[in-house]
Chain A
Amino acid sequence: MANEIKNVWMTTFEAKPFAKVGGLGEVPPNLSRGLVSLGVKATIIMPTHGTVEGRPQLELEGYGPVYIREWKGVKFLLVGGGPLSRPGVYDPASLKEKIYAFSKCVEQLLLKHEKLGLEAPDIVHFHDWHSVFALLRAKIVREAENLPVKFVYHIHLLTREKISLNDVVQAGLNPEREHVISYKGKKLKVTIREAIEMSKGLAERLGALEADKFVTVSRTYLREDKDGILNSLGWDLENKGSYVYNGTDWRYESSLKEVLEKHREKAKEFLGKDELGRNDLRRYFLLKALGEMSKGEPRVLDEKLKKNLEQLYAPPYLPDGRVESFSDDGPLAIMTGRIAAQKGINILLEAIPLVLRKIGNAKFVLLLLPVWGSEEYLEPLVETVRTYPENVRVIFGIAPSIFKLAHVSADVFVAPSLWEPFGIMALEGMVTGNPIVASKVGGLKEIVLDVRKHGTSGTGIHVTPGDPIELAQAISDLMLVMEASRTGSTMIATKIEDAELANLLFTNPKIGNELRKSAIKRVEQEFTWTKAAEMALNVYRSICN
């Protein structure tokens, strides 16, 4: 078959298990694993960032060492040497140098793959703007060598990074070099200079112009969001754009198993019972485990941020950032993610008091990662915890001992993002049995099925991004639905403001459990990495045809 895809390369600046900074680090390796599970060979090419040492398996003459590693069936080509070996994945001091060096390595790998004993790729899949120069070089090599390879460019989150002719020169490319791009269904011969002009100096638009096809992470982010791909980069790219969802490895049963392995004995002892239901886990989490995080948790990687936080910590925080547990049980909402404006932290902080006015025993546990740029949010977050010491905890940093426990104990997951190309955290929330209150934006719009429209097969409630009042009402209502359904209390049910939700609860008193099941089912059926790989494969096939 002409469209048989056997071999896919991916280029990226980050990927677990070698170097992972944010959500992007999850995608290339997991998507590759998905491809592997579909019988496609997958290779990831990335800088070492100093994470790999020792004798390299290959040497790219004049460029640097190449370390070959394998992880869960995926081959990794970790290229080092010069800037590529420097730690700090996105360290601004060496980022551009890394990008240029990386582009040359990718070019060399493509050119000399046979010599190096690597199988020729059918597809090279370039991730994020750091790969744009690699794509440009690959284009030129492909044309020069007439290689039968197709290129896909993947935009995870628009950064609107600017590139100039100077960058082109710095990267060692000739601005006057002609090559072919496909644009509006036609092949155009353009120089690199012209391509940069056509891209309006935007790295991501250039990537989309140069690639045979570009993808992003959701249909909404591609076509609908105000700040989404086509609305930002231009609708002239419409026929080249497609989307490939992200996925998650998380499964309900295995997550629960993992949690129970870690906590069963302590929970049994604390609760004085052997059978542990979800309510029991919640009680154990809120009243016990939350206050007994493992030593060294929560881990904040950045020393300066850690110091900042230590200045702020006061009860119910311990001086090291651990927290006291709550003294009473209550409906639990959780949120996870980086601390950034994009995540809607401020909106949630405004919404929390409104929720508490109605549900005084509501609990919010926010498991957040402090990153550069999040400084301004630290104090308001700590102050909220101190103002509501029986209702709110924000855990700053990585806390593996309670992360999944929080998920399998919760009643509601909150994703108040102002924008969110995809939203893997929502998948994790759902697959652990939580209906989601999510901004109707980006991937969240597609992941979450609004209960008011989909009934018991719904998986959450959509809210307008940036509206704390609507967010508060949705969180309260969903908490109340879950709590009323759990306890059978009609008094709780009378507080539900949304008439449709109240009516759903009335006609289906067990709706809480059904929503949990629907959420799990939707992720396990629709948002696995294998599903994502199938989508990617369809994109590859569409350009190979």
Chain B
Amino acid sequence: MKTSFIFVVHFHQPVGQLSSVFHRVQRNSYLLLTKIFERFPEMRLTLHFSGPLLLMWRKHYPGYLERLKRLISRGNIEVLGGSYSEAPLPLLPFEDRVTQLRAGRRLVEELLGARPKGAWLAERIWDPTLPAALWEAGYQYVVVDDEVGYRIGLSEKDVHRAWLTEYSGRSLGVFFIDARVRYILPWKSPEEVLEYLKNYADAEGSLYVLWGSDAEKFGEWWNASDAEKWLTKFFEMLKSNHAVETSTPQRYLASKGYRGLVYLPPGSYDKMQEWSGGYFPNFLRNYRESNNMHKKMLWVRRKISRLREDHPAYEEYMLGQCNDAYWHGLFGGIYLPFLRQSVYEHLIRAERMAEEALEAENVRIVETDFDYDGEMELLLESKRMNAYVKPSDGGSLFELDIKLEGYEHNFQATMSRYMESYLENVSDFRPDWYRRVSFRDHVWREGVTINDWTGNTPYIDTSDLALGRNIYYIKEDEVHVMFTGKEWSLNKPRLIFVEKTYRLETNGLQVKYRVKNIEKSSVHYLFSTELTFLPRLPEEGVKVGYGINGEYKCIEDTAAVEKANEVSLITEGYPRLIIKSEARAYVWAAPLHSLSMTEKGPRKMFQGLGILFNYPLDLEAGQEFFNTFNVEIEG
């Protein structure tokens, strides 16, 4: 009686990971695992190293890479390939899938000297259309979760066998991860795990049990010495046990082959199914910020698609496809500002390279459904900046890209606070009722406080300007958006007209305001323009702050300054972004925090600096208030 145990360990750090985290995980987990693997040359292992991690190693730990290479060359390890940047393949255009997978394969070959036959899928996101791209890129099989097999009625035994699937005349092998062993290894004792494995032993040894999960479970998620002890003991027990034989996908296939043909629905591991609502691309629907990144990717793709595939812009573009920032489960994901920043940094860099190579004209305005929601957006593009405006969402600015070389950054890579299942019982949490971006307008109820604004007190905005569906037009180098809103503080709604004119200048963005009282009597309003920025986040230890009329504040400070007209965002080593309002205002500034779960419990996380320019307006019938904002990048 025998069974095969296939141990697939996945090593990954996202593009844009904080270097302190990377170095810590390297110490706690990767070095530990390498040490143990070296001690057990008889253990057959299957390892996957993500592209971003391989690149980090190449940069920071070239010696470690050599050590891995030696380990692999001993012959007991099968290395899996995958995409170049651990990209969520179902979200990518078909050509990108192939490009990513081919580049991923080349990277593994180059840095580890291995020639992978199987591929690891980022977040194990399976999609029935994937076989075509994987086949094109030369992969023969992948690892997916048994959940996916169970959903089409495969039996428990079936999901412990290898199958073939097919799409568009391209076939691909599939191995299933056993969910139960994933839940007990390494959280239960080695004895219990071994007992579980033995359940699948039969006379022919036709079944395998595949564990596939994160390397960081060993040493990073729980303490390193306990992990070391656990794994050492487990390997020792496996060595001396004859009912369970360690194997690899290649080895298993060589003796048992495929069981037959299956067709599998889209899916991933159980938790991912829950978080995504059953289908990974749903994250794009659930988080506008995620969709924004994804559609920025598609927009950049249009530009780079005119370049040769070996143009360096492609490398940047692919790095901008790393999956981690595009979704959210329990931990950070899209809520991690430095990951969002990194995605945009790479995409904007690829965009700039493409524009330079193609000699794009300086100022362009494009009207397009950028985010694929059926409404038009207006993209103002210059050599130095992009400013994207969404007329249907309050005429707000939802992307402000700086394209200067070395300073690529989207100041609107902020994150709104969404209702998450783990926040349902947090009493004072109210999700944002609008996307926290810029040039969104409010009329506040009398007595409004900073906390009302940042904490989403209900009914504090008495107008419908914030979410108004603006009409718009392009005139030469200007974009006009306008909306007549209703203000509800009295019994009968009062009309207020707001027109904004966006224009890209050499060093920045100009936004002109015209606010008009459309009532036949005079009105008094506290009219506010809200801006939210993600300052350029630096490497740790470097100061980030802001200034209001010259007074410096730490980024975590809240401030209220009367008669102010200038706010600047200050990151050491990065040009200042200066926001000037022609009309002086009562200016509020406050950091916006989300409440995120981490491996170590709930934590407040900075998502952007909110700035509110409040203008008390007394307007006679038909009277107008004019203001101009200039948002400039210094130097």
* Cα distance A306–B475 in the bound complex, in angstroms: 38
Question: Do B484 and A315 touch (CB < 8 A)?
Answer: no
Q: Is A411 an interface residue (CB 8 A)?
A: no
Interface flags for A396-426 (1: CB within 8 Å of B; 0: not) read 0000000000000000000000000000000
Contact with A along B505-519 (1 / 0, CB 8 A): 000000000101111
Contacts of B516 in A (CB 8 A): 315, 389
Q: For the complex, give the distance between the alpha carbons of A356 and B516 in Å.
A: 19
Could you say which residues of chain A place their CB within 8 Å of the CB of B520? 313-315, 319
Question: Which residues of A359-391 have CB atoms within 8 Å of chain B's CB atoms?
Answer: 359-361, 386-391
Residues of B within 8 A of A359 (CB): 473
B497 contacts partner chain A, Cβ-Cβ < 8 Å: yes
Q: Which residues of B contact A391 (CB under 8 A)?
A: 471
CB-based contact B482/A360 at 8 Å: yes
Bound-complex Cα distance A339 to B563 (A) = 51
Q: Which residue on chain B has the smallest CB distance to residue A318?
A: B622
Chain B neighbourhood of A169, CB < 8 A? none
Q: A315-B518, A319-B520 are in contact. Are A388 and B471 (CB under 8 A)?
A: yes
- Provide the A323-366 mask, 1 if CB < 8 A to any CB of B, else 0: 01001101000000000000000000000000011011100000
With known contacts A315-B622, A319-B520, A389-B497, A356–B367 Cβ distance under 8 A = no
Contact of B621 among A315, A356, A361, A388 (CB under 8 A): A315
When distances are taken between beta carbons in the complex, the residues of chain B under 8 Å from A313 are 520
B488-501 interface mask toward A, CB cutoff 8 Å, 1 = contact, 0 = none?
A: 00000001010100
Query: Which residue on chain B has the smallest CB distance to residue A311?
Result: B520
Q: Find the residue from A315, A328, A359, A361 having the highest chain B CB count within 10 A.
A: A315
Contact between B622 and A324 (Cβ–Cβ < 8 Å)? yes
- Flag A273-302 by CB within 8 Å of B: 1 or 0 each: 000000000000000000000000000000
Q: Does A1 contact B (CB under 8 A)?
A: no
Q: What is the distance, in angstroms, from A302's C-beta to the closest C-beta of chain B?
A: 22
Is A316 within 8 A of B471, CB to CB? no
Whole-angstrom CA separation of A327 from B517 in the bound complex: 15
Q: Are B495 and A361 in contact (CB under 8 A)?
A: no
Q: A384 to chain B: closest CB distance in Å?
A: 10
Contacts of B495 in A (CB 8 A): 314, 386-387
Give chain A nearest CB distance to B521 CB in angstroms: 9
User: Which of B471, B499, B518 lies in contact with A357, CB distance below 8 A?
Assistant: B471
User: In the complex, are the beta carbons of A328 and B480 less than 8 A apart?
Assistant: yes
A388 to B517, CA, bound (A): 13
The answer, yes or no, to whether A499 is at the interface (CB within 8 Å) is no
Q: Please measure, in the bound complex, the distance between the C-alpha atom of A389 and the C-alpha atom of B518, giving whole angstroms.
A: 8
Interface residue? B472 (CB, 8 A):
yes
Interface status of A144 (Cβ within 8 A of chain B): no
Chain A contact residues (Cβ within 8 angstroms of B): what range?
A: 20 to 34
Shortest beta-carbon distance, B522 to chain A, in Å?
A: 12
Q: A314-B621, A315-B517 are in contact. Are A361 and B484 (CB under 8 A)?
A: no
A491 on the B face (CB < 8 A): yes
On whether the beta carbons of A386 and B471 are closer than 8 Å, the reply is no
Complex interface residues of chain B between 288 and 346 (CB less than 8 A to chain A): none
- Nearest CB of B to A387, in Å: 5
CB <8 Å contact, B471 and A315: no
Distance between Cα atoms of A391 and B481 in the complex (Å): 12
Q: Residue among B481, B520, B621 with the most chain A CB within 10 A?
A: B520
Closest A residue to B520 by CB, please name it: A314
Q: How far apart sit A361 and B482, CA to CA, in the bound complex (Å)?
A: 10
Complex: how many Å from CA A356 to CA B471?
6
Return chain A residues, CB-CB under 8 Å to B473. 330, 359-361
For residue A437, give the distance in angstroms from its CB to the closest CB of chain B. Answer: 20
Which of B471, B482, B517 has the most chain A CB atoms closer than 10 A to its own CB? B471
In this complex, what residue of B is CB-closest to A387? B484
Task: Determine if A314 and B518 form an interchain contact, defined as CB atoms under 8 angstroms apart.
Answer: yes
| Nearest opposing residue in chain B for A494, CB measure | B367
Complex interface: chain A residues within 8 A of B517 (CB): 315
CA distance A56 to B622 in the complex (A): 54
CA distance A175 to B334 in the complex (A): 90
* Chain A residues, CB < 8 A from B475: 328, 361
Give complex CA distance A359, B520 in Å.
28
| Chain A residues within 8 Å of B514, by CB | 327
Establish whether residues B367 and A491, one from each chain, have CB atoms under 8 Å apart when the complex forms.
yes
Question: A497: shortest Cβ distance to chain B, in Å?
Answer: 14
- Bound CA span A324–B622, Å: 9
B480 touches A316 (CB 8 A): no
Q: Known contacts being A315-B518, A315-B520, A357-B471, is A390 close to B622, with CB within 8 Å?
A: no
Q: Given A316-B622, A356-B471, A360-B471, check contact A390 B499 (CB 8 Å).
A: yes
Contact B499–A316 (Cβ < 8 Å): no
Bound CA–CA A256/B429 (angstroms): 66
Give the distance in Å from the alpha carbon of A330 to the alpha carbon of B472 in the complex. Answer: 12
A327–B473 Cα distance when bound, in Å, is 14
Tell me the B455-483 residues at the A interface (CB within 8 Å). 471-475, 480-482
Which residues on A sit within 8 Å (CB–CB) of B621?
Answer: 314-315
Contacts from A to B (Cβ < 8 Å): 313-316, 319, 324, 327-328, 330, 356-357, 359-361, 386-391, 491
**CB<8 Å pairs between A and B, sample of 13:** A314-B518, A314-B621, A315-B516, A315-B517, A315-B622, A324-B622, A357-B471, A360-B391, A360-B473, A360-B482, A386-B518, A388-B484, A390-B482
Q: What would 18 more interface pairs be, CB under 8 Å, given A314-B518, A328-B480? A: A314-B520, A315-B621, A316-B622, A319-B520, A324-B622, A327-B514, A356-B471, A357-B471, A360-B471, A360-B472, A360-B481, A361-B473, A361-B480, A386-B495, A386-B518, A388-B471, A389-B497, A389-B518
7 A-B pairs with the lowest CB-CB distances in the bound complex, closest first: A360-B473, A315-B622, A361-B473, A314-B520, A360-B471, A360-B472, A356-B471
